[in-house]
Amino acid sequence: MDNKKFLKLAESEVSKYVIDNVPLAGVADFDVYVVWSCRTLQNNKALLSSNIEDGLYFEATYNGDKHEMYLDAYKKEHNQAIEVSNVNN
């Protein structure tokens, strides 16, 4: 599967997941976007999210050998700023 088709499929599957599993009270419309993607040999991987402020992000992986796509959903648990004072050392 080429990268363009994979990303379109991944965005579609994330949209379906959100509609089926995320409470959308007060959300008239939402967007799904690709944060990062790569292709290695016959395999694809992408990290995706939406503009819904629920802390969810998604990992889509296409296994070219088995012609299967896997979708994982994650929730951000922690975010911490760490000051790095001298990056040259």
* 37-82 tens-digit pLDDT: 999 999 999 999 999 988 899 999 999 999 999 999 999 888 899 9
With respect to residue 17, please indicate whether it lies within any of the assigned structural domains: yes
Q: What is the pTM of this model?
A: 0.84
With respect to residue 82, please indicate whether it lies within any of the assigned structural domains: no
Comparing CA positions, the residue from 16, 73, 79, 78 lying closest to residue 49 is: 73
Tally the domains of the chain: 1
Overall average pLDDT of the 17-28 stretch: 82
Q: Which residues form the domain of 58?
A: 3-75
Q: Lowest-pLDDT range, 4-8, 24-28, 47-51, 58-62?
A: 24-28
CB-count exposure of residue 33 (10 Å: 0-12, 13-18, 19+):
exposed
Helix (H, G, I), strand (E, B) or coil at 19: helix
**What pLDDT was estimated at residue 27?**
75
With respect to residue 61, please indicate whether it lies within any of the assigned structural domains: yes
Whether the per-residue pLDDT at 30 is higher than 80: the answer is yes
